Copies of this chain bind each other. A is one copy, B any other.
Amino acid sequence: MSNLLSSNIFYNTQHSPLGAFASFTLGFKGSKGGLGLELGKPADQNVFIGVEGDQRGQFGCLPFYESVLDESTRFDIENAGGESNIRLSQIADAQISRTLTPGTDTWAVSTADSQSSAWSFTVHAPVMTAPNPATATDAELKLAYVPALTAELGVDNTGSASPRRVIFGFQNSDIYRQMRLLDDATSEFGTGNSQGIVGIATGDSVGIAARARGGNGAQADGVQIWSAQGFSAEAILSEALPFNRAFGIGSVGLLVAVIPAGAKVTLRFALCFYRGGVVTTGLKARYFYTRYFTDLESVAAYALDNFDALRDRSAAFDGRFAASGLSDTRAFMLSQAVHSYYGSSELLDVELNGKLELMWIVNEGEYRMINTFDLTADQLFFELELNPWTVRNELEWFCRRYSYIDTVRFPGDATEYPGGLTFTHDMGVANHCSPEGRSVYEKAGLHGCFSHMSHEELVNWAMCGLAYEHKTGDSEWLATALPVFQDVLTSMLNRDHPDPAQRDGVMSLDSSRCAGGSEITTYDSLDVSLGQSRNNLYLAVKCWGAYVGMEALFASLGDTERAAICRDQATRCAATVCASANTDGLLPAILHENVPSRIIPAIEGLITPHVLGLTNALSDSGPYGELIKALRRHLSAVLKPGICLFPDGAWKISSTSTNSWLSKVYLCQFIAERVLLEIPLARQETADAAHTAWLLDDRNSYHAWSDQMLDGVARGSKYYPRGVTSILWMT
């Protein structure tokens, strides 16, 4: 591993079931991780993972907790808590190493300190194809969508003549719910329910379970394991009487295992999440997994019954990942990104017009907006690799409910011209589904952040639809989507110019929904270089890509008229862009408006022909050769310190802003390297190291993967799913 990566291993990573909007987040020191459900941030719980040393009662733990007030004083107000012979201490950094892949995260504790035995803790996340509920079997669906993760804790006690205790648990941080024993309702306390399961949970929401005896997922012979609850880990471990394990007002829950002397064992745990009933407003929906699971207990039972299969769900992807030959830094960034993507994933059964309709959601990280379309367009590459049906599902929801038909206006002129079909920025926020035809984000009358993204989302639909069709050849879908493509084309043309003769392939009119304001792009918080949609270079090339893709689609369907229009528009667009070049070859961020900014995402739109396999369109000698050459020249010119590079070599997407976006950097790196064939390896590595350093920075690493970095600090778009553009590195 590179020095950079071993320099800070204490960054948070999200470990998440598929589609459960849930994360077991771990890695940042202190009370900064834990089991979070439907949150836009870590659960901020104390997590206790530790092994008793050679000295009885002394536990060495991973550093994922902070000492807290003795809660007993809330009840016994005159007396402080009692003394304890138990001590938890945090293991020294030097004894801890970490190995992260998309599917696993392993913490290994070395024996440097003779007080401790060697042990390791691994969490497994399901980085796998999310099966399509329309076609998969119940068995496949349960295995994929059970809202549970597995974890293993391996302890080598072979050198010891004494048994050794192991703990795994957490302290509740939920103000609504209380810690409880998962097995207390059905058994003697802490000794396992009728299925031999012991566990701890906060209310009906999240918990950790293990099998104490019998059946699959049980512990190794001779290992005892029980659940226990108390005001602190120390108090629990001090308890002599089993009766007191079910101390129901304690906020700390632990699973306590005893490893026999001389044994080497791997303990098995299931991390479980659950939310039943209707979980949304605006529309009424339930989690898909509630088809199969009735509560946390049933999730735990299934997860332990199928422990090995759950644990191994990411083996295929991790194998491919290992074989892909990524550099250490890219492997790290991709792993973090994939983890955070799944942490935002959510699969619902929506009640709509008396029927159940599936809804695949990627929540927008800390903001939790539902299927923000400009994120969908970037997550596209990952979803097409793993589960293309989710792309279709998103596109269908945008058509069915999150589209509108507008008119358009020239800036400063209230005259309305025909606009057309377009799509909302998002479908709601934090499990509130916004009304038909409305996002939660877009406002009227603005020229910056929170304005409409009508044209951006229109092009995103085209791009996602084209890529989905190309990847899957889903003709059933195409039959329903063809009229949409036709409307999208009409809408794009109308946004260029009402007079066909005056069209230049570039957006010139804003949606009347802006009420005189200006549309913005996905780069909403950036300056005008990337923020404004009209005449934007980034959006222009994205439109070019969409025209090129639609030309091929319409041509393949025999619609020569529309194919010709698309080709004509792409040609006009390319010409407009090429004509805008300065004498030094630099392209202006905003065409025709004398804006001094230079932007890397000028090249973003090249991705569409690339994923569609339209290599001729990307060729220097093809019909758009001049555009390709102009963009290459532009990129070469801007990738310099003082323009679009930070001093450390990190990519700066706009020359006039220090706000750089990692998801877009990954995408543009891919285009630069693999489409424009431009970037030497050494420069890649310098940039990757700088980007990795951002994510590892102590100011940022609490938030797992984050997108917007202002001078290297994650100031927005934290805990974010969009970094999976990095999947392109593996293709």
A247 at the B interface (CB under 8 A)? yes
Inter-subunit contact B449/A76 (CB<8 Å): yes
B244→A443 contact, CB < 8 A? yes
CA distance A430 to B178 in the complex (A): 6
Asked whether, in the complex, the Cβ of B246 is within 8 Å of the Cβ of A74, the reply is: no
Q: Complex Cα distance A176/B177, Å?
A: 13
Q: Does A38 contact B (CB under 8 A)?
A: yes
On chain B, the residues within 8 Å of A77 by CB distance are 525, 659, 708, 710, 715-716
Q: Does chain B have a CB within 8 A of A139?
A: no
Secondary structure at the A interface, as helix, strand, loop or mixed, is loop
Q: A477-495: which residues lie under 8 A (CB-CB) from chain B?
A: none
Residues of B within 8 A of A304 (CB): none
A314 at the binding interface (Cβ < 8 Å):
no
Which single member of B38, B203, B430 contacts A430 (CB below 8 Å)?
B203
Contact flags (1/0) for A201-218 with B, using CB distance below 8 Å?
Answer: 101100000000000000
User: Would you call A368 an interface residue if the criterion is a C-beta within 8 Å of the partner chain's C-beta atoms?
Assistant: yes
A418 interface residue (CB < 8 Å to B): no
Partner of A277, one of B78, B79, B278: B278
Supposing A76-B525, A443-B244 touch, asked if A39 and B176 sit within 8 A by C-beta, the answer is yes
Contact at A180–B432, with CB atoms within 8 Å?
Answer: yes
Do A176 and B38 touch (CB < 8 A)? yes
Expressed in whole angstroms, the Cα–Cα distance for A177 and B246 within the complex equals 31
Q: Are the C-beta atoms of A659 and B367 separated by less than 8 Å?
A: no
Q: Is the CB of A448 within 8 A of B249?
A: no
Please name the residue on chain B nearest to A709 by beta carbon: B77
Number of interface residues of A (CB under 8 A): 75
A438 at the interface (CB under 8 A from B): yes
Is there contact, CB below 8 Å, between B443 and A248? Answer: no
Choice from B277, B435, B515, B527 contacting A185 with Cβ under 8 Å = B435
Report how far A247 CA is from B201 CA in the complex, Å.
36
- Known contacts A367-B249, A443-B244; decide if A75 and B450 are in contact (CB<8 Å): yes
A377 within 8 A of B: no
Most buried by B among A184, A249, A515: A249
Question: B244 to A448, Cβ gap below 8 A?
Answer: no
User: B79, A525: Cβ atoms under 8 Å?
Assistant: yes
Contact yes or no, A716 B443, CB < 8 A: no
Which residue of the partner chain, among B41, B72, B513, B525, contacts A78 with CB atoms under 8 Å? B525
Q: Is A439's CB within 8 Å of the partner chain B?
A: yes
- How many copies of the shown chain assemble into the complex? 2
**Across-interface contacts of A515 in B (CB, < 8 A):** 241, 243
Q: Are B243 and A440 in contact (CB under 8 A)?
A: no
Contacts of A204 in B (CB 8 A): 278-281
Query: Contact at B78–A434, with CB atoms within 8 Å?
Result: no
- Complex: A438 Cα to B240 Cα, angstroms: 19
**A657 proximal to B (CB < 8 A):** yes
Distance in Å: Cβ of A58 to nearest Cβ of chain B:
23
Q: List 26 A-B contacts (CB under 8 A).
A: A39-B176, A41-B175, A75-B367, A75-B450, A75-B525, A76-B448, A76-B524, A76-B525, A78-B525, A78-B657, A178-B429, A178-B430, A184-B435, A184-B438, A185-B281, A189-B438, A203-B281, A203-B432, A241-B443, A241-B515, A243-B444, A243-B513, A243-B515, A249-B441, A276-B278, A277-B278
Q: In the bound complex, what is the Cα–Cα distance between A246 and B526 (angstroms)?
A: 24
Q: Is the CB of B527 within 8 A of A78?
A: yes
CA distance A72 to B715 in the complex (A): 12
A726 within 8 A of B: no
By beta carbon, the residue of chain B nearest A659 is: B78
**By the criterion CB–CB under 8 Å, are B281 and A450 in contact?**
no
**Residues of B contacting A368 with CB < 8 Å?**
178
Confirm or deny: A431 has a beta carbon within 8 angstroms of a beta carbon on chain B.
yes
Q: How far does the alpha carbon of A526 sit from the alpha carbon of B449 in the complex, in Å? A: 58
Closest to A527 in B: B78
- The answer to whether residues A431 and B278 also contact, given A75-B367, A369-B249, A445-B241 and a CB cut-off of 8 A, is no
Supposing A203-B430, A432-B180 touch, asked if A439 and B248 sit within 8 A by C-beta, the answer is yes
Task: Identify which of residues 449-467 in chain A touch chain B, using a CB-to-CB cut-off of 8 Å.
Answer: 449-450
Cβ of A246 and Cβ of B438 under 8 Å apart? Answer: yes
Say whether A419 faces chain B, with CB atoms less than 8 Å apart: no
Partner of A445, one of B74, B244, B369: B244
Which residues on the B side are within 8 Å of A103 (C-beta)? Answer: none
| Alpha-carbon gap, A445 to B241, bound state (A) | 8
| Bound-complex Cα distance A725 to B283 (A) | 46
Q: Does A282 contact B (CB under 8 A)?
A: yes
In the complex, A296 Cα to B280 Cα: how many Å?
A: 12
Q: Is the CB of B710 within 8 A of A78?
A: yes
Q: Which of B176, B278, B440, B513 contacts A249 (CB 8 A)?
A: B440
Alpha-carbon separation in the docked complex, A79 to B526 (Å): 9
In the assembled complex, the CB of A569 is this many whole angstroms from the nearest CB of chain B, namely: 31
Q: State how many angstroms separate the Cβ of A476 from the closest Cβ of chain B.
A: 31
